[in-house]
Chains A and B, each alone.
Chain A
């Protein structure tokens, strides 16, 4: 019963992980197919539909197109619920690009409306109820429309609704949806669309792949952590299964000896063990996987709903079946291999309940104190020792990664230096004030900082942020250089990795920007920097070529303090001069993004705690197995007069031998593998330093020691309760 429960528990963990991971990894594709998401979504300033259609209809490979008119910031009211951020999509016919999940689509001309599922869930909107939509008044809700081109409420703050008014004659649109024929070239279509869009303002393109990447980026941290957590859980499950199977074989050694003595061949015994294990594992694993699926189905569906994605439904059966086969194979292998090894020895040894074959002690220079003896006991099973150390190291590395990630998020929120900003205060003032500000005690440097929005003039529509400092900008903002060099004159620019990726820019290339007044300015790309601000869609330039535009802008003065300067004192001095200083912020400053980072940070810390629980479990399992296997040795110590607490010391030594190398390995794995991997997953456009600090490494190492002590105390207490004499009879 206990062994079957072990298989059940392991399968349950696997079931949970697979349900969540499979749902997340395939959710977008499923939702996109169901919603008939277009290959390209084009947004632009309102244009006459006929004119837009005339330009887009010639795009090569185009299978279908449809248009919408999107109105933002529309007030929506439902009962006591209200938002001023309603996004009304006026659907003008053709393929609609969203799926009706419950209900039906709105009929043209009827006073009917379709709402997005996230908002319907949050506000309790049911089909048949009435929603007040700005000047359109009360409209009857007839369905929920799922459109996976964005995440859902509450992650997205806007509330999307769909209307189908009776439209006569021509009308304006600001959103086009393009479907390409299978096999048609997306690049060719995009190039043609951009070329056809000359003169169209406010243009932006997003492809289906781009949507997937954006949504993936939003969920990237969660998915990466879930994958890491799943791997850890699977490792623990494997150890659980292996341990249970091994313990079973140990209990049945005498029985194996009898059968060997009666002439049963090894192969037959191994086959019988495999059959028994399979018969036991199959129902337990099936039940465990089903329970895991049931437990994770709801939360996973909620998470998918937040991403505007669909749960896998019956499609989950295939991966669950594969997992069932995997768990059964693992259990069978874990039961058969020790049986095969055990029966290699003489039947007489088995009848005496002898050790499993292949055990030869090794001389280790560890001393013979009780703690050192414990270390020797656990190291004696070299293969298992290595496996447990690797498992503990993996768990600890994940915990370390989560701590590093949590502190990075906090730094991103609070510390401007994380974004390469070297100034601590900003002041809204005329550029001429910068010299006066620079003379304030505690101020190292002050310079005007201009910031303006522009679009790429070649690809027509890639938005970017231009930042201009007079002189050397790295005194104030210095994101790390990924390639090339720093800019040297008015004609050069440093571009962020995000912008470089979007426009295919490299050092030596040309950045053409179109300013708000339509003027085009070109810069030679001197270098590419790993900037996190504005998703890396940023360019640093000298102000020379932008003088006409900058003349009409009010810059802020960036104020860099001397090391150790009192920020408050400098801010007071600036206030005395009649200026209003602001503190330079991190990625988000304040508001909902900061709240999200706070929540994510807290979630990461909770997950680190959960990994700690997994670590404790793995340590208890490893020490309990050692205590079970070495019962005679522990009993001998008691027979020699060792006080009961000595068993705790012995097991503490065993725990120490496990966690010390695991801690070192964990730091190496986090720094060399996990940190860089997750940094790339979560923000490929920037340089995220996810290497754990010495303090965090020390914290995790200390945590491991505490967990080892707790596990040793727990297992030691159990070992103390075991009778001495029976263990010595073996």
Chain B
């Protein structure tokens, strides 16, 4: 079985001329199923950029990414994100006009997505203890609840890989702990989980910690 995620020799630059900066300079990473990999590094080291390239939200100048053995390219990126990748963001990115449950079911409404996503999403809401507040709008929810809804949304399509960008950055300690528990459980289910973080608590729970330094995985 192919690894959950493979990336080779990723190169990405920002800016032009003298201000040009190569953020990633040949970064490579392989994540096995069941692994929770924490990516650490100083601010501006390119952690979020790496995550975006891994998830097909941005494109490398050089190098390639494979998810579940499928090569990421512009033509297939939408489908790969829909079937194989789940995102969790620091800012949650819940749509403010939709209730928590509707946010989770958003993926199910998208054209071309598999049947069963809606049912799985509803089950996840219950499993994550959000049944009571499933009809609430995001601004009526606590930060922890919002992030749990975001995690439920990421998992609704049963992805191979979950990519989380500072998932506890906007949460209090208790909520953060709860979210970390969930991410740990995800890797336990056989998914590959990549978490970009500064938080020691996340690092402690990771099965592997990689550091991004000078544009490469150290």
Whether the Cβ atoms of B96 and A368 lie closer than 8 Å is no
Contact A723 B58 (CB under 8 A): yes
CB distance from A595 to the nearest CB of B (A): 54
Q: In the complex, what residues of B have CB within 8 A of residue A547's CB? A: none
Q: 8 additional contacts, CB 8 Å, given A368-B98, A640-B106?
A: A361-B97, A363-B137, A373-B95, A373-B109, A639-B81, A641-B113, A642-B111, A724-B58
Q: Is A519 an interface residue (CB 8 A)?
A: no
Stretch at the interface among B30-38, B82-90, B123-131, B188-196: B82-90
Question: How many A-B contacts are there with CB distance less than 8 Å?
Answer: 92
Enumerate chain A residues within 8 angstroms of B153, measured Cβ to Cβ. Answer: 640
Instruction: Check if A370 sits within 8 Å of B95, measured CB to CB.
Output: no
Are A640 and B82 CB-contacts (below 8 A) given A361-B139, A728-B89?
Answer: yes
State which of A380, A642, A725 has its C-beta within 8 Å of the C-beta of B57: A725
Residues of A598-636 whose CB lies within 8 A of B? 632-633, 635-636
Q: Is the CB of A728 within 8 A of B107?
A: no
B163 nearest CB neighbor, chain A only: A639
A362, A635, A646, A729: the one within 8 Å of B110 (CB): A646
Interface size on A, residues (CB 8 A): 34
Whole-angstrom distance between the alpha carbons of A642 and B138 in the complex? 22
Cβ–Cβ contact B79 & A376, under 8 A: no
Q: Tell me whether A368 and B102 are in contact in the complex, defined as CB-CB below 8 angstroms, given that A361-B138, A380-B96 are known contacts.
A: yes
| CB neighbors of A among B48-100 (8 A) | 48-49, 52, 55, 57-58, 78-83, 85, 87, 89, 91, 93, 95-99
CB-based contact A641/B96 at 8 Å = no
Residues on B with beta carbons closer than 8 Å to the beta carbon of A635: 57
Interface magnitude class on chain B:
35 or more
Are B99 and A363 in contact, CB atoms less than 8 angstroms apart? yes
Q: From A360, A376, A641, A649, give the contact of B81 (CB < 8 A).
A: A641
Specify the chain A residue showing the minimal Cβ separation from B136: A363
Which chain A residues in 356-408 approach chain B with CB under 8 Å?
359-364, 368-370, 373, 376-377, 380
> Which residues from chain A contact B55 at a C-beta distance below 8 Å?
639
List 27 A-B residue pairs with CB atoms under 8 Å apart, sorted by A's residue number: A359-B96, A361-B137, A361-B138, A363-B137, A364-B97, A368-B105, A370-B110, A373-B95, A635-B57, A636-B93, A637-B110, A638-B57, A638-B81, A639-B55, A639-B57, A639-B87, A640-B106, A641-B113, A642-B110, A642-B111, A643-B111, A644-B78, A724-B57, A725-B58, A728-B93, A729-B48, A730-B91
A642: nearest chain-B partner, CB-CB:
B110
Question: What residue in chain A is nearest B99 (Cβ atoms)?
Answer: A363
A360 to B89, CA, bound (A): 21
CB-nearest residue of chain A to B102: A368
Q: Tell me, in angstroms, the Cα distance from A362 to B157 when the chains sit together.
A: 27
Q: Which B residues lie at the A interface, using CB under 8 A?
A: 48-49, 52, 55, 57-58, 78-83, 85, 87, 89, 91, 93, 95-99, 102, 105-107, 109-113, 137-139, 153, 157
B57 A641 Cβ-Cβ under 8 A: no
Distance between Cα atoms of A633 and B112 in the complex (Å): 19
Q: Are A641 and B157 in contact (CB under 8 A)?
A: yes
| Interface residue SS majority, chain A | helix
Alpha-carbon gap, A646 to B79, bound state (A): 13
| Given A364-B97, A636-B95: A643 and B48 interface contact (C-beta under 8 Å) | no
Q: From B96, B106, B111, give the contact of A361 (CB < 8 A).
A: B96
Interface residues of A (CB under 8 A from B): 359-364, 368-370, 373, 376-377, 380, 632-633, 635-646, 649, 723-725, 728-730
Minimal beta-carbon separation of B153 from chain A (angstroms): 8
Q: Which residues of A contact B111 (CB under 8 A)?
A: 370, 642-643, 645-646, 649
CB closest residue in chain B, given A370: B109
B102–A360 CB distance below 8 A? no
B-chain residues with CB within 8 Å of residue A637 when the two chains form the complex: 106, 110
Residue of A632, A641, A724, A725 near B82 (CB, 8 A) is A641
B107 contact set on A, CB distance < 8 A: 640-641
Residues of chain A within 8 A (CB-CB) of B105 are: 368
CB closest chain-B residue, reference A361? B96
B110 proximity list for chain A (CB < 8 A): 370, 637, 640-643, 646
Tell me, in angstroms, the Cα distance from A368 to B109 when the chains sit together: 7
Nearest chain B CB to A25's CB is how many angstroms away? Answer: 46
> How far, in angstroms, from A411 to B113 measured CA to CA in the complex?
55
Given A361-B96, A380-B96, A641-B157, A725 and B106 touching (CB < 8 A)? no
The residue from A359, A369, A373, A643 contacting B78, defined by CB atoms under 8 A apart = A643
B84 closest partner in A (C-beta):
A641
Contact across chains for B57 and A728 when beta carbons are under 8 A apart: yes
- Is A376's CB under 8 angstroms from B98's CB? yes
Q: Enumerate chain A residues within 8 angstroms of B102, measured Cβ to Cβ.
A: 368
Write the nearest CB–CB distance from A315 to chain B, whole angstroms. 52
Interface centre among A373, A639, A724 (most CB of B within 10 A): A639
CB distance from A539 to the nearest CB of B (A): 66
Of chain B, the residue at the smallest CB distance from A360 is B139
Q: Which residue of B lies closest to A355 (CB)?
A: B96
